[in-house]
Amino acid sequence: MPIPNVLKDFECTGCGECCRWGGSVLLTDADIATMACHLGVSEQEFIDRHTRLAPNRIQLALLDKADGSCAFLEGSRCGIYPARPEQCRSFPFAWSVPEGCPALDRLRAAGSPEAPREPRRSAVL
């Protein structure tokens, strides 16, 4: 999926907050294949160990920790960063949130016309 360069001034702080938000990290078939390969397990093993049925009941999602953060979050870093799902790769370029991402909030505070002020979702996962 091409990601439009709509936020050229966006600089992620690496705070990891977006990996702690409530909700689901939805997975595509390609995500599962990539993550399984990265971890050196079969796709079925990956599904059995690391996923659950998403609330939409048509997709799998990554498991969460007890506090709601993603099970793959290690401190403030993604433990599978090179193989992270498209949903994670495409934030905030294909979808965004009204507040809570420090890098986006900073762009908004600076009056950047690039920073989306409303939640948006254009990614089809």
Residues in contact with ligand SF4 by the rule CB under 6 A? 12-19, 25, 62, 70, 72-73, 78, 80, 84-85, 88, 91, 101-103
Q: Which residues contact 75 (CB under 8 A, 6 or more apart)?
A: 16
Measured from the CB atom, the residue of 56 and 103 that comes closer to ligand SF4 is 103
Smallest separation (angstroms) from ligand SF4 to the CB of 48 = 17
Cβ(71)–Cβ(50) below 8 Å: yes
Going by C-alpha positions, the residue among 58, 33, 57, 31 that lies closest to residue 44 is 33
Can you tell me the distance from the alpha carbon of 12 to that of 7, in angstroms, rounded to the nearest whole number?
11
Smallest separation (angstroms) from ligand SF4 to the CB of 54 = 14
Smallest separation (angstroms) from ligand SF4 to the CB of 88 = 3
